[in-house]
A and B are shown apart, each in its own frame.
Chain A
Amino acid sequence: EVQLVESGGGLVQPGGSLRLSCAASGFTVSSNYMSWVRQAPGKGLEWVSVIYSGGSTYYADSVKGRFTISRDNSKNTLYLQMNSLRAEDTAVYYCARGKYSSSPGAFDIWGQGTMVTVSS
Chain B
Amino acid sequence: DIQMTQSPSSLSASVGDRVTITCQASQDISNYLNWYQQKPGKAPKLLIYDASNLETGVPSRFSGSGSGTDFTFTISSLQPEDIATYYCQQYDNLPRTFGQGTKVEIK
Residues of A within 8 A of B (CB): 35, 37, 44-47, 50, 58, 60-61, 94, 99, 104-108, 110-113
Contact = CB atoms under 8 A, between A and B. Distances in A.
Interface residues of B, number: 22
Contacts of B89: 45, 106-107
B100 to A, nearest CB: 5
B38 to A, nearest CB: 8
Contacts of B45: 110
Interface of B: 32, 34, 36, 38, 43-46, 49-50, 55, 87, 89, 91, 94-101
B68 to A, nearest CB: 18
26 contacts: A37-B44, A44-B87, A44-B98, A44-B100, A45-B36, A45-B44, A45-B89, A45-B101, A47-B95, A47-B96, A47-B97, A47-B98, A58-B95, A60-B95, A94-B43, A99-B46, A99-B49, A105-B49, A106-B34, A106-B46, A106-B55, A106-B89, A107-B36, A110-B43, A110-B45, A112-B43
